[in-house]
Structures are given as structure tokens and as C-alpha cells.
């Protein structure tokens, strides 16, 4: 089984429309890209306001599905969301109060990865749904390069 890890620079831009308000988040961090078997993994940390960090793991399957795991141990929060183009997917949010089942509806997704030189782009436009209500509209734009 092939296992190659490469250091990369990650730029993530997120736009969130929630409760009538638009917010933007920009993250620029070093990360690691690994190809293991038929899946690609991108790991990086997000710096949080309190000097802590959240660990981010993005997995791209050979079918083009995207799995997004975000863990912030200091805040005792972990989310696991799944994205398949034009489909609803079940995910979850672990908090100190318990587990909340979340659904994503992926309106559009794009994954482009080039090996030499290693560069990639992951775009996801999705709705986050809790208890059959849309709680937010998200635009996830991630670019990485070695």
C-alpha cells in the first residue's frame, strides 16, 4: 500500500450565512497531505482565539466523497460531516452536552488534485441541517500546495 506524506500550505476561506448574517473565516496554516490506498487525506490545525487550536482532517475518497472532521479539545467539540455532490448525508456534532445528529445537503462540490507539483482545490457549497431545519448555508473553499 502506497503511503506518501507531503508538507503543504493550506488556505481555507469559509463563508457562512446563518440567522440572517454573513460571516467569513480565513485560515492559512501549514498542513500535511497523505495519499493512502485510494484515499487522500489533508491535515492541518486551525488557530482559535484563545490560543488553542482545532485539528482539521479532510478525507477524499476514490468516489469523490468528502469527509470533514474538526476537533477542538479545549472547547470539547468534535464534528464529523460528510459531503456527496447533490445528496443529503448524515453527520454528527459531539459537545459536552451530548451528540447532535446533523445532516448536510451538498449543493455543489469540486475536488481537483494534481500530483506534480502537488496542488489541490476542494470546494463545497452546502446546507447544514438540524432537526429538519436549515441552520446555515456554507461555502467552503480550500486550496493547498506543496
> What is the per-residue DSSP string for 36-66?
ETTEEEEEEEEE-TTS-EEEEEEEE-TTS-E
The Cβ-side half-sphere exposure at 25, using a 13 Å CA radius, reads 14
Are 30 and 43 a contacting pair, CB within 8 Å? no
The pLDDT value recorded for residue 52 is 87
134/36 Cα distance (integer angstroms): 34
CATH fold for the domain made of 3-145 = Lipocalin (2.40.128)
Mean pLDDT, rounded, for 104-115: 96
The predicted-structure confidence for 34-73, as pLDDT tens digits, reads as follows: 999 999 999 999 988 778 899 999 999 999 899 999 999 8
Cα separation of 58 and 69, whole Å? 7
CB neighbourhood size of 55 (10 A): 14
Measured from the Cβ of residue 122, the count of other Cβ atoms closer than 10 Å reads 22
Supply φ then ψ for residue 19, to 5 degrees. Answer: 50, 40
Q: Is residue 139 within 8 Å of residue 25, measured between CB atoms?
A: no
Q: What is the mean pLDDT of the chain?
A: 94
- Is the pLDDT at 132 greater than 80? The verdict is yes
Class of residue 15 by CB neighbours under 10 A (exposed 0-12, middle 13-18, buried 19+): middle
- pLDDT category of residue 1 using cuts at 50, 70 and 90: very low
- In this model, does residue 83 exceed pLDDT 70? yes
CA–CA gap between residue 78 and residue 87 (Å, rounded) = 23
Amino acid at each position: 500500500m502506497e503511503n506518501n506524506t507531503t508538507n503543504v500550505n493550506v488556505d481555507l476561506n469559509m463563508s457562512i450565512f446563518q440567522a440572517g448574517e454573513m460571516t467569513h473565516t480565513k485560515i492559512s496554516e501549514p498542513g500535511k497531505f497523505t495519499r493512502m490506498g485510494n484515499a487522500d487525506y489533508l491535515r492541518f490545525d486551525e488557530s482559535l482565539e484563545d490560543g488553542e487550536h482545532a485539528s482539521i482532517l479532510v478525507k477524499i475518497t476514490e468516489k469523490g466523497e468528502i469527509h470533514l472532521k474538526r476537533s477542538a479539545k479545549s472547547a470539547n467539540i468534535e464534528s464529523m460531516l460528510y459531503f456527496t455532490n447533490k445528496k443529503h448525508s448524515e453527520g454528527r456534532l459531539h459537545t459536552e452536552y451530548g451528540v447532535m445528529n446533523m445532516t448536510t445537503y451538498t449543493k455543489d462540490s469540486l475536488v481537483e488534485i494534481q500530483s506534480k507539483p502537488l496542488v489541490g482545490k476542494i470546494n463545497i457549497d452546502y446546507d447544514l441541517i438540524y432537526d429538519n431545519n436549515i441552520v446555515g448555508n456554507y461555502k467552503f473553499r480550500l486550496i493547498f500546495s506543496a
